[in-house]
């Protein structure tokens, strides 16, 4: 196990008669890009708000850097929560000067230039915030979170409302920041982006943790193939008799099967030995959205 950055134990949050978090426990290690996934009302934003001190938990505990919940921990955490909030009449530099002073930074002008260049906003440094597109506002928020060079970034829906170009820019920026060795915790409902970014994920529903682990393990729980033959009934009958395979469902005239065999050639050979000659055989890879829906709807 690597260095533990965040440890959550039995975290629980009640709003009157609504249970927003139900005994959540998980661990985030240094260098991970850790995704919190879940439909609306699953507890993602509630979790982040508790971790950042904006909300009190009903019970349970968490610890940053093995140092509990001390306020000093937040100096080493950069956060982007919900809609970026800056002074609309100030330009990018002046807004970051305000942030730097709030964070108690001194001699900050060089760092402001560095982070604005980092998020590709230096050329718009004198533009007022109110003239920025949503994507630029999100990037300025990332610059603000990076200002004091924290080891951890906490991002709540960083691609929310962005167009495809803005989403791509944000994805690349997050990956570049991660390459510097920072730990990133990201909550998102855009599963395609999470699949491209995260190393680890936790799937929540109604405040309860359903699945957690390395993304590649969650994505590779089964080896799946789509097969077809002239006689689908005979094909399915053979599948039902084989120990290494089982029928999942029919998709547009093809049968989706899971198999203990990892190579398509071996699947084809096994059917041929049973007297079934396939007219179609291809690997079927579930995306994260498919796996997510299977887990939350189970």
Provide the phi-psi class of 253: left if phi over 0, else alpha when psi is between -120 and 50, else beta: left
What domains are there in the chain, each with its CATH number? 4-214 (3.40.50.300), 223-296 (3.30.70.250)
pLDDT at 166 over 90: no
Contact partners, residue 140, CB within 8 Å, separation at least 6: 84, 86, 92, 95, 96, 119, 121, 129, 132
pLDDT at 296 over 80: no
Report phi then psi at 168, rounded to 5.
Answer: -65, -45
For residue 101, which of 154, 148, 142 has the smallest C-alpha distance?
Answer: 148
pLDDT at 220 over 90: no
pLDDT at 118 over 80: yes
3-state helix, strand, coil in the chain (%, to 5): 35, 30, 35
pLDDT class for 144, splitting at 50, 70, 90?
A: very high
DSSP classification of residue 260: S
**Among 45-54, 58-67, 75-84, where is mean pLDDT lowest?**
75-84
Rounded to two decimals, the pTM is 0.79
For residue 109, which of 100, 118, 120 has the smallest C-alpha distance?
Answer: 100
Contact partners, residue 92, CB within 8 Å, separation at least 6: 116, 121, 124, 125, 126, 127, 129, 132, 140, 143
- Asked if residue 204 lies in contact with residue 222, where contact means CB atoms within 8 angstroms, the answer is no
């Amino acid at each position: 196990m690597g260095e533990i950055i965040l440890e959550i134990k039995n975290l629980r949050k009640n709003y009157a008669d609504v249970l927003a978090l139900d005994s959540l426990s998980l661990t985030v290690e240094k260098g991970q890009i850790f995704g919190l996934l879940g439909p609306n009302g699953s507890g993602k934003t509630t979790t982040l708000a508790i971790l950042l001190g904006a909300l009190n938990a009903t019970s349970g505990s968490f610890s940053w850097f093995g140092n509990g919940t001390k306020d000093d921990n937040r100096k080493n955490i950069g956060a982007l929560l919900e809609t970026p909030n800056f002074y609309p009449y100030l330009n990018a530099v002046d807004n970051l000067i305000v942030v730097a002073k709030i964070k108690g930074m001194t001699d900050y002008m060089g760092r402001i230039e560095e982070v604005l260049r980092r998020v590709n906003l230096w050329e718009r440094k004198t533009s007022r915030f109110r003239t920025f597109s949503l994507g630029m506002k999100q990037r300025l928020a990332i610059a603000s979170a990076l200002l004091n060079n924290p080891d951890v970034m906490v991002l709540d829906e960083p691609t929310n409302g962005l167009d495809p170009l803005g989403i791509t820019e944000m994805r690349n920026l997050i990956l570049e920041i991660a390459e510097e060795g920072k730990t990133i915790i990201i909550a998102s409902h855009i599963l395609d982006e999470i699949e491209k970014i995260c190393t680890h994920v936790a799937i929540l529903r109604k405040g309860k943790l359903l699945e957690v682990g390395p993304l590649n393990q969650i994505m590779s729980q089964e080896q799946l193939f789509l097969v077809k033959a002239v006689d689908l009934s005979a094909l399915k009958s053979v599948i039902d008799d084989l120990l290494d395979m089982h029928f999942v469902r029919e998709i547009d005239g093809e049968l989706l099967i899971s198999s203990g065999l990892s190579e398509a050639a071996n699947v084809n050979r096994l059917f041929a030995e049973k007297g079934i000659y396939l007219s179609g055989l291809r690997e079927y890879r579930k995306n994260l959205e498919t796996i997510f829906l299977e887990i939350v709807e189970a």
